[in-house]
Chain A
Amino acid sequence: MQKRKERIDRGIKVRSEDIFALCSWKEMLYLSGPRLLPLIAFALLPLVLGTYWQRVLLSVAVFGLLAISWDILAQSGMVSLGQALFFGTGAYCSGVLNHYWHLPPMVTIPAAAVVGGVICTLLLLPVLRLRGIYFAMVTLIIPLMLVRIVEATKVFGGTEGLSGLTPLPSHWIELYVSLAALLGALFGFRRVMSSDYGLVLKGINDNDRSVMNAGINIYWFKAQALFLSSAVGAFAGALMTHVYMFVGMPVFALDYSILPIAAVVVGGHGSLAGAALGAFILVPLSEALRALGGLRIVFYGVFLVVFIVALPEGIFHFVTRKYHQFERWVEVEK
């Protein structure tokens, strides 16, 4: 007798559908649990961790933001190999505003997010019309080019960068602001992507001709998605500038481009929560492996490959599936 695997929704999932969720506390918890978990976790973690791991948590927030930024673009049909561009632009914007005009972080960070977003969008505007792979290559190349230009023209501090920038009032604020930003971006953009507007963006990814055929200017929408994504990335960069009190060529490093992609691969593409989850897993993992020295990156590469091949849907989707459904073997009906 042959068997096949059958997947069925869990009882509690069906019971908590629509208004029936208000039936009992169990159902409400089932629905709200996954959403409250990160909120509570991020609120409490900083209090229990030591200073070193708090820094790691900050990194998680920053890379989480970059990963979310990447996924927004990917869901709109643009694959970027250069999140470092957004990060670096935001970092330099806030650094410059702070260094030359002495504006406080409270002002430079939001300003850098917006201005950085605008600059990146304008830079990438000419390539919006091209097929995905060309867009990806350009995003890969521009940060590499900017690094060399900074090095050659010695602008904005050249190889030494700008240092001695204003820090944020306290390291608690640093941490909670970045975590709040991560959660805000996560829930906020999830809302956006599941609305009709998000549907249009995803439609552009799926079948852009069809969307254009509906009278929608896809380039305008793509530009909007690009702006949102780059603003988030720039925000992350601006934040880090004030945490490190320094900005220089390293902000365009390949790390900032690769890790977000790795985070989305591991966590799961297509849902911003997956991106954040991926960052939450990878960054501490990367720190823990620091002891291995150079071997760390080797492990990285292997890890990436294993995930892409073995669990392409990512951890988040896997966990979600298990949460909502269970599997069992049934006999194949004749």
Chain B
Amino acid sequence: MFAGTVLYALINSVILLLMAIGFNLTFGISGVSNFAYGALYIMAAFATWMLMNLVGLPYFLSAILSILFTALVGALMYRFIIMRVRGQVLSEVIATFGIGLAILEFFRYLGFVGIEYSLPVFLDHSFIIAGTYVDMQRILIVVSSVVLILLLWLFIHHTSIGLAFRGIAQDERTALTFGMDSDYIAMLSVSIGAGLAAIAATVIVPLGTISVGEGYEVLLNALAVCIIGGLGSTGGVIVASLFVGFAQRFTDTYIGSHWTMIVSLVAILLVLVIKPSGLYGKQKELEERI
């Protein structure tokens, strides 16, 4: 049972990581709050479902279209709403959260609740690793996570756009003087972050059904992982997702599922109190505390 728990904990961590990647890019690295993240995740899943079941498109096409669509929605969201409240963090949070709320509850209102709302798995197959069943979908999740993280890391640290992303978070005025159009870059960041959420949704949602409530959980998980790991640090996000993933899984197996969320929340609290910038955060000493 122990080996099985460890394995599933690892997979859980990877799932959390995948969920958090897009959020980290937008909020952690570029400094733009997008609290509609969870809503965009679910929206992507529903979009794929609708394209498949209402329009009749094949799975791959639907998935790709919905990823592009979500990225577009992210860009529009920035251009028409976030851009106007840029800089005031609270307003950004409230505005994006409002959008997310509207989207999620709209789906709930339309009645998109039930077991028939689910996405098919990529390949229906299982392996036995270390004495436990692991299905193909979960393997796919791990693979795609690794690939995405690598791509992201390369993007952020080795391309000029990635550098621009980091630049506007550090000091927007200076970035402007360098000729970076900070609005355009922020829009790209939100858009790509949304696209990443869509990718995560496409891969993770097939594990269960598309549930509106999961939208809020995704946001909370992404937030937790990013905070514990340290906003903006890719390495930190990896470590944090391992930390939270393991904590959640072990609590679930050995203590009881009721306590799973509590453990995550306590973990966040402890990090915030002891080292607010997270495990690998880059906040300067003077800025962290007053």
Task: Please list the residues of chain A having a beta carbon within 8 angstroms of any beta carbon in chain B.
Answer: 79, 126-127, 129-134, 136-138, 141-142, 144-145, 148-149, 151-152, 208-209, 212, 218, 261-262, 265, 293-295, 297-305, 308-309, 312
- What would be 30 A-B contacts, judged by CB atoms less than 8 Å apart? A126-B273, A129-B290, A137-B272, A138-B272, A141-B268, A144-B261, A145-B261, A145-B265, A145-B269, A148-B262, A148-B265, A149-B262, A152-B262, A212-B290, A261-B94, A262-B94, A294-B105, A295-B105, A295-B106, A297-B102, A297-B105, A298-B101, A298-B105, A300-B98, A301-B99, A301-B100, A302-B102, A305-B81, A305-B99, A309-B95
What residue of chain A has the Cβ atom nearest to residue B83's Cβ? A309
CB-based contact A304/B98 at 8 Å: yes
Report how far A218 CA is from B91 CA in the complex, Å: 25
For A130, the chain B residues whose CB sits under 8 A away are: 272-273, 276, 288-290
B89 contacts A by Cβ under 8 Å: yes
Known A-B contacts A133-B89, A305-B98; the reply to A294 vs B109 at CB < 8 A is yes
Question: Which of A149, A152, A218, A293 contacts B256 (CB under 8 A)?
Answer: A152
What residue of chain B has the Cβ atom nearest to residue A303's Cβ? B98
- Distance from B85 Cβ to chain A, minimum over Cβ atoms (Å): 6
B125 contacts A by Cβ under 8 Å: no
What residue of chain A has the Cβ atom nearest to residue B212's Cβ? A294
Known A-B contacts A152-B256, A152-B258, A305-B81; the reply to A145 vs B99 at CB < 8 A is no
Report how far A184 CA is from B261 CA in the complex, Å: 39
B84 contacts A by Cβ under 8 Å: yes
Interface centre among A145, A261, A293 (most CB of B within 10 A): A145
Report how far A148 CA is from B101 CA in the complex, Å: 22
Beta-carbon contacts under 8 Å, B245-286 to A? 256, 258-259, 261-262, 265-266, 268-269, 272-273, 276
For A137, the chain B residues whose CB sits under 8 A away are: 223, 227, 268, 272
CB-based contact A265/B94 at 8 Å: yes
Known A-B contacts A141-B265, A308-B98; the reply to A134 vs B105 at CB < 8 A is no
- Distance from B140 Cβ to chain A, minimum over Cβ atoms (Å): 31
What residue of chain B has the Cβ atom nearest to residue A265's Cβ? B94
For B268, the chain A residues whose CB sits under 8 A away are: 137, 141
Report how far A295 CA is from B106 CA in the complex, Å: 6
For B288, the chain A residues whose CB sits under 8 A away are: 130-131
Report how far A308 CA is from B94 CA in the complex, Å: 8
The number of chain B residues touching the other chain, given as a range, is 35 or more
Question: Which of B81, B84, B94, B261 contacts A148 (CB under 8 A)?
Answer: B261
For A129, the chain B residues whose CB sits under 8 A away are: 289-290
For A309, the chain B residues whose CB sits under 8 A away are: 81, 84-85, 95
SS of A interface (majority): helix
Task: Please list the residues of chain B having a beta carbon within 8 angstroms of any beta carbon in chain A.
Answer: 81, 84-85, 89-91, 94-95, 97-103, 105-106, 108-109, 220, 223, 227, 256, 258-259, 261-262, 265-266, 268-269, 272-273, 276, 287-290
- Distance from A119 Cβ to chain B, minimum over Cβ atoms (Å): 16
For A152, the chain B residues whose CB sits under 8 A away are: 256, 258-259, 262
What residue of chain A has the Cβ atom nearest to residue B273's Cβ? A126
Can you name 5 extra interface pairs (CB under 8 A) apart from A265-B94, A304-B101, A309-B85?
A127-B273, A218-B290, A294-B109, A297-B102, A300-B101
Report the 5 A-B pairs with minimum CB-CB distance, sorted nearest first.
A301-B102, A294-B109, A301-B101, A304-B98, A297-B105
Report how far A301 CA is from B102 CA in the complex, Å: 5
For A127, the chain B residues whose CB sits under 8 A away are: 272-273
What residue of chain A has the Cβ atom nearest to residue B110's Cβ? A294
What residue of chain B has the Cβ atom nearest to residue A141's Cβ? B265
CB-based contact A134/B102 at 8 Å: no
- Distance from B230 Cβ to chain A, minimum over Cβ atoms (Å): 12
For A144, the chain B residues whose CB sits under 8 A away are: 220, 261, 265
For B89, the chain A residues whose CB sits under 8 A away are: 132-133
For B99, the chain A residues whose CB sits under 8 A away are: 301, 305
What residue of chain B has the Cβ atom nearest to residue A312's Cβ? B91
What residue of chain B has the Cβ atom nearest to residue A153's Cβ? B258
Report how far A279 CA is from B63 CA in the complex, Å: 43
What residue of chain B has the Cβ atom nearest to residue A134's Cβ? B276
For B261, the chain A residues whose CB sits under 8 A away are: 144-145, 148
Report how far A265 CA is from B91 CA in the complex, Å: 9
Report how far A305 CA is from B85 CA in the complex, Å: 10
- Distance from B205 Cβ to chain A, minimum over Cβ atoms (Å): 22
Question: Which of A149, A208, A261, A300 contacts B102 (CB under 8 A)?
Answer: A300
Report how far A127 CA is from B109 CA in the complex, Å: 38
CB-based contact A301/B105 at 8 Å: yes
- Distance from B39 Cβ to chain A, minimum over Cβ atoms (Å): 9
Report how far A114 CA is from B50 CA in the complex, Å: 53
Report how far A137 CA is from B95 CA in the complex, Å: 17
Report how far A261 CA is from B95 CA in the complex, Å: 12
Known A-B contacts A127-B273, A304-B94, A309-B84; the reply to A148 vs B258 at CB < 8 A is yes
For A295, the chain B residues whose CB sits under 8 A away are: 105-106, 109
- Distance from B48 Cβ to chain A, minimum over Cβ atoms (Å): 22
Report how far A127 CA is from B84 CA in the complex, Å: 30
CB-based contact A301/B223 at 8 Å: no
For A312, the chain B residues whose CB sits under 8 A away are: 85, 91
